[in-house]
Structure 1
Amino acid sequence: MLASMLGAFFGTARAPMTGAPEPDGGTLWSQFAVVRSNPSYLWLLALGCTQFLAVGVMLAAAPYFASYVLGDPKATSTLFAALIGPILLTMPLWVRLSKRYEKRGAMLLAGLLFGGGTAAATATPLLGALYAHLMLFVVGVGFAGVQLLQFSMLADVIALDAASTGKRRAGVFTGLWTAIESAVSSFGALIFGAVLSMGGFVSSDPGRPVVQPESAISAVLLGQTAVPAFIIFLAVLMTFRYRLTAEHVLHDPQQPSASGEIRPAAP
């Protein structure tokens, strides 16, 4: 890690700067004023927040799902591996799909895989732990596409803003994106906690399971499956409203069209 950081620093130390320097982002309110004038960014941020929320709920639920549904607290690590593993394996696939079906089409497919795998995991009590891991792998494939395409679409929005305003404001857009992502992901844990509370869950460490009422076990299962599936399917519906696609392109990437759209950048 240190070697790569030093290599990146010394390798780019003398690289020339292009374009005007990015202005200071200013206060938080001034940054909100900047993004408020960019509807494409606001819609993409809303889409991303919905996806972040679904992921946040799933991550909060995973240890409880392993302990109380699978009956094995140690399965938390293998569930995370099934979810995260496909990110490295399927990134090239999602790049190809985004070129063939446009980013919006690929995002729809990623969201459907994410939501479909999550919803299908509801059958875990009937089909067992192996089935749960296979469904989490399907979710991971969709999650990989969501992660890649979110940032690729964000790059399109930033490029459009630079082309239409002549200002470099990538720091403002990415800074707010990162801050809001962290906040929304944390809110997912609150949602899962509320689901547990409604199910009558007896407070305990998921690493040391205690006897729970059936309603609490059901709450854990739904918190890991049905609740994030519902949220991610909302994101799928929102994706249909995303309009920054190549089919609307009339000009080069650096020249906004009359409708204010540009050719999206490659992932």
Structure 2
Amino acid sequence: MSNSASDKLSEQNKKIDLSTKLAFGAGDLGTAITAMIGISFLSPFLTDVAGLSPGLAGRTQLVGKVWDAVNDPMVGVLSDRTLSKWGRRYPWMIWGAVPFGLFFFLNWIVPHFSDNPEFNQIALFWYYTAASILFNAFYTVVNLPYTALTAELTKDYDERTSLNSFRFTFSIGGSILSLVIALIITKFVPEDKALKYLILGAICAIISVLPIYWCVWGTRKRAEAVGNQNPEIEQPVSIPYLQQLKIAFTNIPFLFVIGIYLCSWLAVQLTAGIIPYFVVNLMKLPEIHITLVPLTVQGTAMSMLFVWSNISRRLGKKAVYFMGMSSWLIAQIGLFFIQPGQTGFMYLLCVLAGVGVSCAYLVPWSMLPDIIELDELRTGQRREGIFYSFVVFIQKICLGLAVALMLESLGWAGYLKPVGNIAQIQPDAVLNIIRFFIAPVPAIALFLGLILTYFYPITKEAHAEILAELERRKNRV
């Protein structure tokens, strides 16, 4: 890079131009589309369309999540050690994008293996397990290096919050787009559920791949410039793997971020996973509300992102998290007591939940780059991949277990599959399970997250001291 370009970046080191922020945000669009379609529709697709028992449907998702969690640290460590003209992160995104879309689509096919119902159940279980493993593996290949870019595009505390605001605007926008596509397909293919999901999977697979390449080409120039000014960012990590684990898990602020992120997303994904059953079986509403409910939550969350980002600049990340989670807790408690016929009240609670969900997107991911600088101060090396991978590793293990337990519980309680397109009247035990997973479990997770946030030690002032010490160390070299 020329000296003039370096000087220009040095003068504007705390500011990222709009086109770069847009390109960075686009990197989360495709993965958000697939994640929202998966969490909103995969469980009812497997139980009600593919015909798997709730237990097998839960286990196939659990196996996929466990493998996904296992390969997260592998990809994180390997991307930390990658050395190429494209840097450490971009080769993974470039080569992983197309398989990521392809294997997502394969999750929405209903193959017929045998006329023997028992054999067909087992064959379907292994088919969806394989599809889940492959999709989740390539999800990690493109998404984990992408998330690690946050710390490589800027070192500024507030600019990272702004960068994540763009990321999650695209993320929530992708969620909304996928739900709108689902609404349109439902309108034109109202009766044939298998065809509806096949079309939905195909369209979302195609549009999920392209934004990844936008992100690569739109942020590479900035990443290269920052890397030239801060060569330590692009240096492969030399610390042995087991020693990296030990260092990571003795970093106390990192453990707080893991807990905050886990509690937030446990609440998000458990609520999203049970919504199809909550809407149809407990609220007794038409299936279109399966899409409208998360659409309301995500729409509210997106509208609040830049509000929270601006408040964070004045009051800090912890204050924003407390305000957002308080709103969300009220919504979760209300969902426990809601009764069929209270549809307007349900949507009011969705809006309150959306206010908090935006904080779950924004705050934990804005904290993690600060942890990386603290680790750099202690170890002398930049290890974005290992930290990002272990946040997601623990999240996926716990969420995989939670979703599997939810579906197993529905099966134990005697869940009745729809007859054609008509939902059956469920036993009281099933309705109690739905209430349990829509409110008390997410509410407990949110409350624990608030406790962890209260004790989180890295403030804006503490982060400024970390950066100042890193700068002094660099100048002494």
TM-score range, shorter chain: 0.7 to 0.9
Q: Which has the higher helix share?
A: 2
Q: Which runs of 5+ in 1 are unaligned?
A: 257-267
Of residues 217, 224, 227 in structure 1, which corresponds to 2:431? 217
Tell me which moved more, 222-231 or 188-197. 188-197
Of residues 279, 297, 315 in structure 2, which corresponds to 1:66? 279
Q: 1:26 to 1:68 in 2, by over 3 A?
A: farther
Give the aligned partner of residue 122 of structure 1: 336
Compare relative contact order (CA 8 Å, sep 6+) and give the higher one, 1 or 2. 1
Tell me which moved more, 31-40 or 6-15. 6-15
Of residues 196, 199, 214 in structure 1, which corresponds to 2:410? 196
Maintained 8 Å contact 2:282/2:340: no
Q: Write the mapping of 1:228-243 to structure 2, written as runs, cut at 5 A.
A: 228-243=442-457
Deviation at 1:110, TM superposition (A): 1.8
Maintained 8 Å contact 1:25/1:171: no
Tell me which moved more, 12-21 or 61-70. 12-21
Q: 1:13 to 1:108 in 2, by over 3 A?
A: closer
Q: Write the mapping of 1:31-42 to structure 2, written as runs, cut at 5 A.
A: 31-42=244-255
Of residues 4, 8, 19 in structure 1, which corresponds to 2:231? 19
RMSD over equivalenced CA pairs, Å: 2.8
Deviations 1:92-141 (A, max 9, x none): 11112212222111111222122221111223206612211221121111
| Structure-2 separation of matches of 1:246 and 1:11 | 28
| Structure-2 separation of matches of 1:22 and 1:249 | 22
| Structure-2 separation of matches of 1:45 and 1:129 | 35
| Structure-2 separation of matches of 1:7 and 1:250 | 31
Maintained 8 Å contact 1:56/1:187: no
**1:109 pairs with 2:320:** no
Give the alignment's TM-score, normalised by structure 2.
0.48
Deviations 1:148-169 (A, max 9, x none): 0111111111122223332111
Maintained 8 Å contact 1:43/1:242: yes
**1:133 pairs with 2:347:** yes
Count, aligned residues: 255
| Structure-1 separation of matches of 2:399 and 2:243 | 24
Give the alignment's TM-score, normalised by structure 1.
0.82
**1:178 pairs with 2:178:** no
- % identical aligned pairs: 19
Maintained 8 Å contact 1:22/1:169: no
Maintained 8 Å contact 1:160/1:254: no
Deviation at 1:190, TM superposition (A): 2.7
Maintained 8 Å contact 1:60/1:188: no
Q: Which runs of 5+ in 2 are unaligned?
A: 1-209, 471-477
Q: 1:163 to 1:24 in 2, by over 3 A?
A: closer
| Structure-2 separation of matches of 1:94 and 1:31 | 34
